[in-house]
Amino acid sequence: MFTKFLSFVLLAGLARAATLQRRAVDFYNPAANGGSMLDSVGGGLGEPLNVIISGQSSPDVLTTDGVVNWARAVGYSEECFGLHSGDPQTANLGDGNGSTDQLVELRQDYHNTGVGTCWESIVGGNHFRVWKQNGTAANSGALFLAASKEKPVTDHHTIVDDGYDVGRNELVQNALGTKSHGGVTYSTTARNVTGLLAAGATGVNHGIAQDGIVTLLTITIV
């Protein structure tokens, strides 16, 4: 009886290890399973998912609360008083979940996590939306981000010229290195990935061309 029990425990452990190993990837390409590296804003247009937080990042980062705390550490916060105008955007990450709403939208907070995003809503700035790749068909745990820089409210928050590339680059620049918030310290590294996102303006919201580069961030809690 003990031998059978031990065999069961060993097999369960091996199965769990195999599951963990399958998830130990940076991300899965959404296009490989019917998804897209453009989210959807309607009318057949979308914004580029131009930053990915690797599935090999610290697990506590790869949650909604975790990415919000990390965002605060690198200069972004929740929307002004939690208010959002317009419908949430959707994305299909090719993980079997189909099109899902964004988990959260985070805005540049101008060094004030309390009300800084209210200022961003007025004068414009950088912001990003977040989705998680966690369906059974591609369960990497990675977070896919659509980053962009927008104009002031007087210009209806449209995207600035070259705003997708600028938004990505500013987010990455702010994130790199060691940053802390709420008693948690993060170390972030980056590398650029090509071949996921077609360069140009085809299908891109506002007809703004982008360079096709996706930046992969690996975030470790230290």
Q: In total, how many domains does the chain have?
A: 1
pLDDT in tens, 114-124: 666 775 767 67
| Residue 4 in domain | no
**In contact, 95 and 28? CB cutoff 8 Å:** yes
| Residue 165 in domain | yes
| Residue 200 in domain | yes
| Residue 14 in domain | no
The boundaries of the domain holding residue 185 are: 25-221
Picking from 13-22, 25-34, 55-64, 210-219, which range would have the lowest pLDDT averaged per residue?
Answer: 13-22
pLDDT in tens, 169-212: 999 999 999 999 999 999 999 999 999 999 999 999 999 999 99
**In contact, 145 and 50? CB cutoff 8 Å:** yes
CA 98 from chain centre, in angstroms, equals 17
| Residue 69 in domain | yes
| Residue 125 in domain | yes
Q: Is the pLDDT of residue 6 over 60?
A: no
| Residue 20 in domain | no
**In contact, 206 and 159? CB cutoff 8 Å:** yes
| Residue 134 in domain | yes
